[in-house]
Amino acid sequence: MTRFDRRIGLHRLIFTFASSIAALAILSGCGSSGPEMAWVGGKVTYKGQPVPRGLVSFQTTAADGRNATGMIQPDGSYELQTEKPGDGALLGNYRVSISAREEEEILMYIPKKPVKPKRLIPEKYENPATSNLTAAVVSGSNTHNFELTD
């Protein structure tokens, strides 16, 4: 092997190593794009008891944000989603509304006057403007419990 052949071999080795490092740097930049999201969940109680069903809505205060919602489970727990179950919410500040009503019974007749399902919590919580509930979503895991009163 001549001195020239050794130089070519060394250059190829350096080129291969540099190319590998560059490829790794480019690939490490790839991944999920878009704004950062964080897991959000918690528990909803009314007068110290779990609210057994309903919907928790986080309504963004940002002009370019997105709202997130979560169904309340029988133990009062909820987990937010923006696009798919469990994906959480975008980072930011939110106004919160909670809606909880008894399940509607299937009627075998048409009543003369519509029957509204009974509310499980006061009506003021259904509107973010009157609920006085807020939440901040930060990077990482977020737990927001809501203890509702009259």
The mean pLDDT of the chain is: 83
Residues 20 and 56 occupy one common structural domain = no
| Whether the model pTM is above 0.85 | no
Q: Give yes or no for residue 90 having a pLDDT over 50.
A: yes
Say whether both 68 and 100 belong to one domain: yes
Domain tally, the chain = 2
39 versus 22: the higher-pLDDT residue is 39
Structure tokens at 61: 């205060």
Whether residues 113 and 63 share a domain: the answer is yes
pLDDT per position as a tens digit, 53-76:
999 999 999 988 999 999 999 999
Q: Which residue has the tokens 């930060």?
A: 138
Report how far apart, in Å, the C-alpha atoms of 109 and of each of 60, 101, 102, 113, 150 are: 41, 21, 19, 11, 34
Q: What is the percentage of the chain residues whose pLDDT exceeds 70?
A: 73
| Parent domain of 18 | 1-31
